[in-house]
Amino acid sequence: ADPRTFYDAVGGEETFRKLVARFYAEVADDEVLRPLYPEEDLGPAEDRLRLFLMQYWGGPQTYSEQRGHPRLRMRHAPFKIGPIERDAWLRAMRIAVDETGIPEPYRTKLWDYLEMAAQSMMNSWV
């Protein structure tokens, strides 16, 4: 473990596992988000988001080994992501971040990134 990385400073894989599992528990019950997911099983989508975030914050590069370059805007192009979808995603993520118990200043840094990333994923203005 390298505590200079955000990844290790917040608790490594276990923390990202909790965060993303909590997020997908919200997605499963969300009437805006759930219909967007093409697969009945949310497990594979959960794995992809967890591996992406682990990689982004300085953990193992498994996401890119499995999926290649993230190209997240391109990968989201098939889904309409307007203000309603963005807000639903951030609502679910807010709960996940709060309940994962990540201490400051990491929590704010993570949240600011997620808000920026959700904004940048928009591809519709209605």
Q: Catalog residues that contact ligand HEM under the rule CB under 6 A.
A: 33, 36-37, 39, 45, 48-49, 52, 67, 72, 75-76, 79, 81, 85-86, 89, 117-118, 121
Residue placing its CB nearer to ligand HEM in the complex, 41 or 104: 41
Nearest approach in angstroms of CB 23 to ligand HEM is: 10
Residue placing its CB nearer to ligand HEM in the complex, 95 or 118: 118
Residues 6+ apart with CB under 8 A from 22: 95, 96, 99, 100
Q: Most distant CA pair in the chain: distance in Å?
A: 44
Local structure of residue 21 (DSSP, 8 states): H
